[in-house]
Structure 1
Amino acid sequence: MATLLLTGASGLVGSRLLPRLVEAGHTVRALVRGDVTLPAGAAAVHGDLADPGSLRPAVKDVEAVVHLAALFRTTDEDAVWRANLDGTRNLLSAVQAYAPRARFVMTSTGNVYDADATRPARESDPCSPTQAYPASKVAAEALVRESGLTWSVLRLPFVYGEGDGHLASMPGLVSRFGLHPAHTYSVAHHRDVAQVVKMALAGTLDSRVVNVTDDAPITVLEMTALAGSEVEGSAEPLTDPWHGRMDGTLLRELGFSPEVPTVQAAARAGIL
């Protein structure tokens, strides 16, 4: 098992991933800026991705880095670029200097794919997003690929489960962004995000960009129903019907099989 650094440990994904990494036997350092409560077996290391000089204690001699930290759903585009691109650049520089043999695993987003796709997006498809969040993640991915480190990039879909509140937020997102009730999205449960991170840490995904998704996309209407606040249906035509859909074939060819194959299976198991 590895000594590793986790960024974004207090976030929606990181807070569920951290205890699983500890349970798997890894020695985990969590990069934090303030006082936080961590699960037993994890150590807080104070630092800030915006402050390159603060990162040496966090990365020195680690065997792996899992970089989850990101900023999104804000109107401050400059802040998004600073967090997602400059922060990744600073972290990479620290790893190159103080742990050059470390494996670097970065999570990205399925939002990087172009909205006008004609099928579920594949990893080889062009990505030219214009919004700050996905554009900054594409730029950060490029830094990772060009870093000279051993790397992998995991493009995550809508992640949910274990009472994280993400699924429950869907009715509000419908109102905020005008989502069509028939639009379908690729999704993945926290258990399967953790499974893919473990595959990356084991080296299975070295030098790969992979889409992470379960076995069946789900409509906005179905998500809101599961959240307890079903929106009204619509027969209006869909615009960009494949936006938000990812093809998970490559990851399955590399050995992935989702533990939670569908959102409906998660509901039956009581792990929403």
Structure 2
Amino acid sequence: MPTLLVTGVTGLVGSRLLPRLIAAGHDCRALVRGDNTAPDGATAVRGDLNDPSTLPAAVEGVDAVVHLAALFRTDDEDAIWRANLDGTRNLLDAVASHAPDARVVMASTGNVYNHDQARPGLESDSCNPSAAYPASKVAAEALVRESGLTWSVLRLPFVYGDGDGHLASMGALAGRFGLHPAHTYSVAHHRDVAAAVLLALGGQLDGRIANVTDDAPVTVFEMARLGGSPIDGSAEPLTNPWAGRMDSSFLRSLGFRPSVATVWEAAAAGIL
């Protein structure tokens, strides 16, 4: 049974992914801080990505690391860089020293693509975001690529499902960030994020970056309505209409097909 270390297990993605990794037959260690407990079926290992001395014991003997931990939606840019870049560096150093044969799967974000792109983002595109969160993830991706370890990076879209409340937050997010109701975003259900992670753990994505999306982007207006927090529409022209959109052709070329093809199917199945 492969042994995994998973970071970010209490987050929106991690809390839904970990049970699926366990169900797939992985022996999962959950990196937790303080007195936090591990989710059912996982083993808690005490550690903090900002404290390098706590990480060797966490990674010792693992077959793979699934690195989900990240900080965003805060105005503290220094904290974002410490968590997303320095934390990743500390984790990679520990893996290189104590589990050099382990596979590293890092979760990144579709927000790394430039907002003024002329089409959906491709993995080969140059990414020069200005905001701290995507910029820190681009820098962390570079650390992973240059680590000398066996690695893959999954760029995730707007992830939803399993009652995580993400869609329900769209009404508030639209107001906070001034999102145009007609703007579209690539999305994916937690089930398909898990499928992509399992593909990466199987080695099919070694040395590659892969976009993860379902079959159809969704407007801010539709997401807010589906989440129960409807917003007003607008006929004003869109600026940067391709921002937030990703092309997942590469992952599909490997046989990946989303089991939840669209958010509308998720709504019909009662798995939002």
How would you bin the TM-score normalised by the shorter chain? over 0.9
The one-letter code matched in structure 2 to 1:220 is V
Aligned to 2:256: 256
Aligned to 2:67: 67
**In the alignment, is the contact (CA less than 8 A) between 2:103 and 2:151 conserved in 1?**
yes
CA distance in 2 between counterparts of 1:200 and 1:145 reads: 15
The one-letter code matched in structure 1 to 2:148 is G
**TM-score normalised by L of structure 2:** 0.99
Identity %: 73
Aligned to 2:208: 208
**TM-score normalised by L of structure 1:** 0.99
Q: Does 1:6 align with 2:6?
A: yes
CA distance in 2 between counterparts of 1:196 and 1:186 reads: 15
Report deviation, 1:229.
Answer: 2.3
The one-letter code matched in structure 2 to 1:14 is G
Helix, strand or coil: the match of 1:120?
coil
Helix, strand or coil: the match of 1:268?
helix
The one-letter code matched in structure 2 to 1:62 is V
Q: Cα deviations across residues 93-138 of structure 1 (Å, max 9, x unaligned)?
A: 0000000000000000000000001111110111000110000000
Q: Cα deviations across residues 130-158 of structure 1 (Å, max 9, x unaligned)?
A: 11000000000000000000000000000
Q: Cα deviations across residues 6-62 of structure 1 (Å, max 9, x unaligned)?
A: 000010000001111111111100000023343332100000000001001100010
Aligned to 1:84: 84
Correspondence 1:1-272 to 2 at 5 A: 1-272=1-272
CA distance in 2 between counterparts of 1:54 and 1:255 reads: 38
CA distance in 2 between counterparts of 1:20 and 1:34 reads: 25
CA distance in 1 between counterparts of 2:187 and 2:114 reads: 18
Report deviation, 1:63.
Answer: 0.5
Q: Cα deviations across residues 154-204 of structure 1 (Å, max 9, x unaligned)?
A: 000000001101000000001101100000000000000000000000001
In structure 2, runs of 5+ residues without a counterpart are none
**In the alignment, is the contact (CA less than 8 A) between 2:117 and 2:243 conserved in 1?**
yes
The one-letter code matched in structure 1 to 2:98 is Y
Helix, strand or coil: the match of 2:70?
coil
**In the alignment, is the contact (CA less than 8 A) between 2:155 and 2:209 conserved in 1?**
yes
In structure 1, runs of 5+ residues without a counterpart are none
The one-letter code matched in structure 1 to 2:83 is A
RMSD: 0.7
Q: Which runs of 4+ in 1 moved over 2 A?
A: 34-41
